[in-house]
Amino acid sequence: MRSLLKFISRYNYSITFFFLLIFSFFLVLNESFILRSFYFNSSNYISGNFYRVQNGILSYFSLEKKNTILINENLELINRIKKLESDYRSVIIDTSTVGFLSAQVINNSLNKSKNYITIDKGFKDGVRENLGVISSNGVIGKVKYVSDNFSTIISLLNTSFYLSTLVDETKTLSSINWDGKNPREVKLLYVPKHVPLEIGYSVITSSFDSIFPKGIEVGKISSINEDTNSNFYDVDILLSEDFYSIYNVYLVKSFPFEEKIKLESID
């Protein structure tokens, strides 16, 4: 203890200098948008390479599980195609304006109030900010930061992220947001009490936020509480995707939505 006090006494000016230097960097990054963007892009590159190496090691020991998931995903896609062929033979679905880019998850946080996901695709692969991200089961989030080779996704499990949705059975416009509690559930917001709701109703994307096409599954209503001092329900949604088991995702590259954003930004 005496040696520690002697060390601090001898180098107190140096310690104070480094402390103030670190604190000033913190203030500058928080105040400057340009520097903050540079910081996030640089950290994306460094952390992205680290996560890719780490994920490569972990992936080797989980190949059997991943192969099982891919087989199930392919089977599900085949079943959906067969259903479309049998039910909508006379309907032509135009998908020429919507493209999908596949990516692998190399890092996924779950224990924070603001969770993010890192993927192994970046600017060089055609990834841009605000692209919607889905899995074979439903919505994952949207792209927040992009570097050359990696991207960071703001997850549905982020208390700052709101997504425009529809209750499929009633066509009621709503929004979802995570309250930071259960990673399997989010809150359904702004559904008025005069709208008939039932447990099991599906919640899908609305396309109003220009991120996702209409109709991508988000989850199903798991509980409804009408006893609130509000004109709206208190509703929980069980997510269709288990965020503990995300390996592969798909980025929605929809050019009409980009045109919509540009048009609506004109004064």
Query: Quick one: pLDDT at residue 37?
Result: 53
Distance CA 68, CA 171 (A): 35
Residue 39 covered by a domain: no
Residue 28 covered by a domain: no
Domain that holds residue 241: 98-267
- Tell me which residue of 222, 179, 184 sits closest to 201, measured CA to CA: 222
Percent helix, percent strand, percent coil in the chain, to nearest 5: 35, 30, 35
Query: What value does the mean pLDDT of the chain take?
Result: 78
Residue 50 covered by a domain: no
Beta-sheet pairing, 162-167 with 202-205: antiparallel
Q: What is the CA angle 166-167-172, rounded to 5?
A: 70
Residue 151 covered by a domain: yes
Residue 266 covered by a domain: yes
Number of independent structural domains in the chain: 1
Q: What is the CA angle 238-233-236, rounded to 5?
A: 10
Q: Note the pLDDT tens digit of each residue in 21-62.
A: 676 666 554 544 444 555 555 556 566 666 666 666 656 555
CATH of the domain at 148: 2.40.10.340
Answer whether 230's CB lies under 8 Å from 124's CB.
no
Tokens of 137: 């089961």
Mean pLDDT of 96-123: 88
Residue 68 covered by a domain: no
Mean pLDDT of 68-96: 50
Residue 19 covered by a domain: no
Residue 246 covered by a domain: yes
Q: Is the pTM of this model over 0.95?
A: no
Answer whether 248's CB lies under 8 Å from 70's CB.
yes
